Amino acid sequence: MTTTFDLVRYLSVLPLFSELPAQDRERIARDGCSLQRLERGEMLFAAGDRCDAFHLVVTGHLKVYSVADNGAEKVFELAGPGQPIAELCVFNEHSHGLNVQALTPALLVRVPKTAVTALVLKHPAFALRMLAGASQRMQGLLRDVESYCLHSGLRRVVGYLLDQADEVPSKCSSGRPLTVSLPVSKAAIAARLSLTPEYFSRVLRELDEAGLIRVDKRDIHIPDTRRLAHYSQAEA
């Protein structure tokens, strides 16, 4: 059975668009945005492609990465539902600097540069929300660089697991149990953490044997989040 995607309603629940007047959301949904579907392994764009739009992930997961001359990949981000991709690229005349590939079947909203420019000129608050979101993501990337340079692989893995919960601070402080369902393959997550898949699996086995987690395929059950956090800090 075919269902119709309600693009206006989807935009209304996104922080970036929710404060726009309803008529402007309807206009951009009708005249500007379009839906784009990707199959697993399909490229959204490659480094060097022209940047004439940004995308919002509705469903699925994509990796944002670069490729070295020797073929090695560096994954910068795993983008999931609700996240924008290349939103600031539309403000300059440069081409894309990174590659984006679907790790799972994905549905995206394509927002063309012309529509973004019109909204920015008409609603300065929209531009500020875009900048705030980009700034937050930039801070996250800087924390990642710090983690790669200063933190052990074990601490990176534990940090990733705890970061998957919406209420991580309260869960960590209270020691409440948590179940993390890995959204993509372990290999993709390992690449995101700048680890080899073998090392990532070895850390999971170590944590499992220590009774700190229980691995059930892609579900990671954490009996006591506070104990897990303390273990990674002690072993760092």
Range 53-69 burial, b when 16+ CB lie within 10 A, else e = bbbbbbebbbbbbeeee
| In the chain, where the domains are located | 7-149, 151-235
Domain 151-235's class? mainly alpha
For the chain, give the longest Cα–Cα distance. Answer: 57
Its sign, for the CA torsion 88, 93, 99, 102, is positive
Name which residue leads in pLDDT, 167 or 144: 144
pLDDT tier at 1 (50, 70, 90 boundaries)?
A: very low
Superfamily for the 7-149 domain: Jelly Rolls (2.60.120.10)
pLDDT digit string, tens, across residues 78-132: 999 999 999 888 888 789 999 999 999 999 999 999 999 999 999 999 999 998 9
H/E stretch holding 234: helix 225-235
pLDDT digit string, tens, across residues 176-198: 788 999 999 999 999 999 999 99
The pTM of this model reads 0.83
pLDDT at 167: 46
